[in-house]
Amino acid sequence: MTRREKRPTEKPKQEWLLTYGDVVTLLLTFFVLLLAMSSMDQSFLSRVSIYTAGHAALDRHAGGKVPRSVQMVLDLVDRPWEAFQKEDKIRDLLFPDQSLPPEIDRKTLNENVQVLARDEGVALVFSDKLLFAPGSAALTGAAQAVLAQVTPLILLTAAPVNVAGFSAGHEVDNAEDYALSGQRAMSVMAFFLDAGLEPLRFSLSAYGADRPVDLANDEQARTRNRRVEVFLKTRQPLGGYLTQ
């Protein structure tokens, strides 16, 4: 009688363990991600909330709401060719009457803040007497109140920012022209950086008296030439063309 050969006993398949292990790994990864997010630098979040309080928005392109006045300025800054035509509107939106310090009324602001369209973006031009005491590079208290109104605009756009200082050539000795224009530009940039804006977005320029906007040889022209420009590069050159 032929003896039957015993078949080897099959071990139960354990593919389910592999699936279970994958799920556990994913859950652990998700847990670590949540832990990392919860430990995010709270000081950074606090700085951002200063400028978004009341606006309920961290990003104009995200789901949060951006106030209509801020959104209108952002749209105009993105279209430099329209900004120059609507200079008064931009000033009114950026610097509403209730935001002006007691030392600066609407007439003074309008005379000392310009909005200039450039090929690559829009420049906000501040006269030196709006920001500084004569011969000084320290921002006045009123100047800080004015610049604080510009901070949310910079926060809500990703554009690179150049802060440039200019002198008139008659305020101090010629050898100190560049130093003064650079120190004033540095003071304005330092204000924005102290407010928590991203340092890598900023660049600094000091032109001394080399780039006057008024070539006349009188005090009115020199007053116009002493300035600080905050230039938002909303449009970047690409070859011979410009692109947003």
pLDDT digits (tens, 9 = 90+) for 55-101: 333 444 444 456 666 677 777 666 666 665 678 888 988 899 999 99
With contact defined as beta carbons under 8 Å apart, do 95 and 146 qualify?
A: yes
Q: CB-based burial of residue 25 (10 Å sphere; 0-12 exposed, 13-18 middle, 19+ buried)?
A: exposed
Q: Identity (one letter) of the amino acid at 117?
A: A
Give the model's confidence band at 228: pLDDT under 50 very low, under 70 low, under 90 confident, else very high.
very high
- What's the rounded Cα separation, in Å, for the pair 79 and 154? 15
Of 218, 195, 212, nearest in space to 47 by CA: 195
pTM assigned to the model: 0.68
Superfamily of domain 66-243: OmpA-like domain (3.30.1330.60)
**Pair of tokens at residue 187:** 């003071």
Look at 242 and 154; give whichever has higher pLDDT. 154
pLDDT digits (tens, 9 = 90+) for 35-65: 444 444 443 344 344 444 433 334 444 444 5
pLDDT digits (tens, 9 = 90+) for 198-213: 999 999 999 988 888 8
With contact defined as beta carbons under 8 Å apart, do 165 and 183 qualify?
A: yes
Question: Given this model, what pLDDT does residue 69 score?
Answer: 64
**Pair of tokens at residue 61:** 């392109």
Question: Given this model, what pLDDT does residue 51 score?
Answer: 41
pLDDT digits (tens, 9 = 90+) for 4-30: 555 555 555 555 555 555 555 555 555
Q: Give residue limits of the domains in the chain.
A: 16-53, 66-243
With contact defined as beta carbons under 8 Å apart, do 91 and 114 qualify?
A: no
